[in-house]
A and B are shown apart, each in its own frame.
Chain A
Amino acid sequence: MRWAWIALALALLAYPLVFTSPFYQDAGALVLLAAISASAWNVVGGYAGQISVGHAMFYGAGAYLPLLLHQHWHLPPILGVPLAIAVSLALALVVGFPTFRLQGHYFSMATLAVAELIRIVVSNWELLGAAIGLQGPAVSKNWWDLTFRSAVPYYYIFLAVLALLLYVTWHMQESRLGYYLRAIRSGERAARSLGVPVRRYKLFALMLSATFTSLAGSLYAFKTGFVDPESGLGILVSVQMIIIAALGGTGTLLGPLLGAVILVPLQTTTNTLFGGGGAGLTFIVYGGIIVLIARFEPGGLLELWHRLTAPRTRRAPAPRHAA
């Protein structure tokens, strides 16, 4: 299997060098960005099985804080990145700490409520640009502005962050944290009976997820140089993470990347084909896809592939007792 990984890595590294038109390079960067936030969501939503529908709060924090530092206090936006992560971790605790000892629905409802609460507050707060939003550096004066004219530097930065996130996820997967999270997702009561400190591990997962989601938001702000309540904190930000992870396969390492590779170009295409109305159609389709995934194949495309290609397993024979 080693060769498959190497091939993938090479393909990703070579992409902008092969497809040299700015349109394709930009598209590639967007795919990677979507893969980062979906992979980050996947840590808590896929692996731990705690469905957040308000992850935009972390993304928005990551996008707003660097631009806030720049626009109001003329500080290097990059300083906003760790600040945003700190804010996101605080939000994760506020939302997760009370709800992780209750049934799963409470957590989901709370994420929706808090994300919406923040969006309304930000929309009405002058300091944060209210409905208009915030802007980043127009021209690049220093390296830390991270304002590039070409999409290629962004592409490689995003690729590096994605690689880091996937490495961290992979490492977690094979560790006690990963096993415990899967156990929590499969059966909390049984997990507890085996000594798994359920609330603590759910919080770990959420905080890890929030960190990388915040980072994704920051990367978005650096690339587009702009954020407003819709693009940073809107429900569709949360929806996109969920659908990309779910389509590819939640709880798998490469599912979110697969989902991003499929959906981001699709979304760009429908937007171009149908113009403004296309956005509306896209979300009808998204809703439909989520329902279909939930109804027929919650494991996403990777699970579907696994089911179609795995050998038919007979019912296991009665276990022999070792005499």
Chain B
Amino acid sequence: MILLQVIVGGLLLGAVYALLSSGLTLIWGMMNFINFAHGEFVMIGMYVAFVIVVALGVGPGIFGLAAAIGLFILGVAIYFALIRAVMRGPMLAQILSTFGLALLLRYTAFWIFTPNFRTLPQTSLTGTINLGGILLNVAQLAAGLVAAALTLALHLLLTRTAIGSQLLAVAEDRQAAMLMGIRPDRMQALAWGLSAASAGIAGALMAISYPFSPAVGETFALTAFVVVTLGGFGSVPGALLAGLLVGLIQALSAYYFGPVYKDVIVYGLFVALLWLRPQGLLGTA
């Protein structure tokens, strides 16, 4: 029974990981670019939620939305201020740009909020419910379901809407997209906004149940890297599947080996993946 609880809990957190990573894989697929500051977007989402709740005392719906909007704007701003320029430059500049940005965001957060772990005050999502013998934390259940829904929504946005097909067109072939009248610049900025927003919402969702500090960004970035590699280059459905799997593996690792090693196992999995199947679950060699 406990094991089943661990499994379900892992899958729910995994859904949040999927949401968190879907933005990263979108950018990777579109621009062949890995955002090393992606974890910090999640962290900022957590702190936006924190600030909003402390200042206005509102519920999860509002601060979730605030995180989404705030991070969307941040993502677009970063695209225009930094990313667009470094895309034209050498690989060194591309990797260092977001790596430096991660440091900048992380240590600014340290400075403003101190390294202490914080939690959000009680929200409406409290208590546990009993689903067929499994005790589930309402907040975690809600977070997992919302995250899964949003990830699917992102996938549908990309594959079923006009704007989504424009985004995919730019990912597929920039030149051809330009010839069709699509503005790659705008689409890429939009992708950055969506990427940051999804990371921010994931952060806000996690903040409801878990304590957070400015340091967590690095761990989320690495988790996202693993999910994105496992799920395959540019694939949002892949990220969903991989996210669930990573959440599950992490929960089982914590259960069997202790909480300290939950991340170690995931990182070890990453290395094994690179050796054996770097194209991920759904990719082709």
Whether A and B touch directly in their complex, counting CB atoms under 8 A apart, is answered as yes
Segment at the A interface, from B58-66, B186-194, B268-276: B268-276
* CB <8 Å contact, B82 and A295: yes
Segment at the B interface, from A62-70, A96-104, A143-151: A96-104
* CB <8 Å contact, B96 and A246: yes
CB distance from B231 to the nearest CB of A (A): 14
Q: Which residue of B lies closest to A236 (CB)?
A: B103
* CB <8 Å contact, B260 and A94: no
Q: Which residue of B lies closest to A113 (CB)?
A: B267
Segment at the B interface, from A116-124, A159-167, A194-202, A221-229: A116-124
* CB <8 Å contact, B101 and A120: no
CB distance from B20 to the nearest CB of A (A): 15
B90: Cβ under 8 A from any A Cβ: yes
Interface string of B14-40 (1 = CB under 8 A from A): 000000000000001000111010000
Given A102-B278, A113-B270, A294-B86, A284–B104 Cβ distance below 8 Å? yes
- In B70-129, the 8 Å CB interface with A consists of 82, 85-86, 89-97, 99-108, 110-111
A287: Cβ under 8 A from any B Cβ: yes
* CB <8 Å contact, B264 and A298: no
Cα–Cα, bound, A114→B34 (Å) = 17
Q: Which residues of A contact B (CB under 8 A)?
A: 45-46, 49, 51, 53, 94-95, 97-99, 102-106, 108-110, 112-114, 116-117, 120-121, 124, 185, 235, 239, 242, 246, 250, 277, 280-281, 283-284, 286-295, 298
CB distance from B194 to the nearest CB of A (A): 20
* CB <8 Å contact, A281 and B111: yes
Q: Which residue of A lies closest to B222 (CB)?
A: A113
- A117: chain B residues within 8 A (beta carbon): 263-264, 267-268, 271
**Binding site secondary structure of chain A:** helix
Cα–Cα, bound, A235→B268 (Å) = 18
B151: Cβ under 8 A from any A Cβ: no
CB distance from B238 to the nearest CB of A (A): 16
Sample of 16 further A-B pairs with CB below 8 A, known A120-B260, A284-B103: A53-B36, A99-B274, A109-B222, A109-B229, A112-B221, A112-B225, A116-B222, A117-B264, A117-B271, A239-B103, A250-B92, A287-B101, A287-B105, A290-B104, A294-B92, A294-B97
CB distance from A267 to the nearest CB of B (A): 13
CB distance from A297 to the nearest CB of B (A): 9
* CB <8 Å contact, B85 and A49: no
- B92: chain A residues within 8 A (beta carbon): 45-46, 49, 51, 246, 250, 294, 298
Q: Which residue of B lies closest to A292 (CB)?
A: B100
Count of A-B residue pairs with CB < 8 Å:
146
- A283: chain B residues within 8 A (beta carbon): 103, 106-107, 110
* CB <8 Å contact, B34 and A105: yes
* CB <8 Å contact, A286 and B103: yes
- A286: chain B residues within 8 A (beta carbon): 100, 103, 107
CB distance from B283 to the nearest CB of A (A): 11
Q: Which of A45, A94, A106, A295 contacts B86 (CB 8 A)?
A: A295
Given A49-B91, A116-B222, A298-B89, A106–B111 Cβ distance below 8 Å? no
Given A49-B91, A116-B218, A280–B110 Cβ distance below 8 Å? yes
Q: Which residue of A lies closest to B92 (CB)?
A: A298
What are 21 A-B interface contacts by the 8 Å CB criterion?
A: A53-B99, A105-B95, A106-B274, A108-B95, A112-B36, A113-B267, A114-B267, A114-B271, A120-B263, A121-B264, A242-B96, A246-B96, A280-B107, A281-B111, A284-B104, A287-B107, A287-B108, A289-B100, A294-B92, A295-B85, A298-B92
* CB <8 Å contact, A109 and B34: yes
* CB <8 Å contact, B97 and A280: no
In the A-B complex, the 10 residue pairs with the closest CB atoms: A290-B100, A287-B103, A287-B104, A294-B97, A291-B100, A298-B93, A294-B96, A283-B107, A117-B267, A105-B34
- B111: chain A residues within 8 A (beta carbon): 277, 280-281, 284
- A298: chain B residues within 8 A (beta carbon): 89-90, 92-93, 96
Given A98-B274, A287-B101, A116–B267 Cβ distance below 8 Å? yes
Among B82, B90, B99, B221, the most chain A Cβ lie within 10 Å of the Cβ of B99
CB distance from A205 to the nearest CB of B (A): 14
Cα–Cα, bound, A293→B99 (Å) = 12
- A112: chain B residues within 8 A (beta carbon): 36, 221-222, 225
Cα–Cα, bound, A112→B82 (Å) = 22
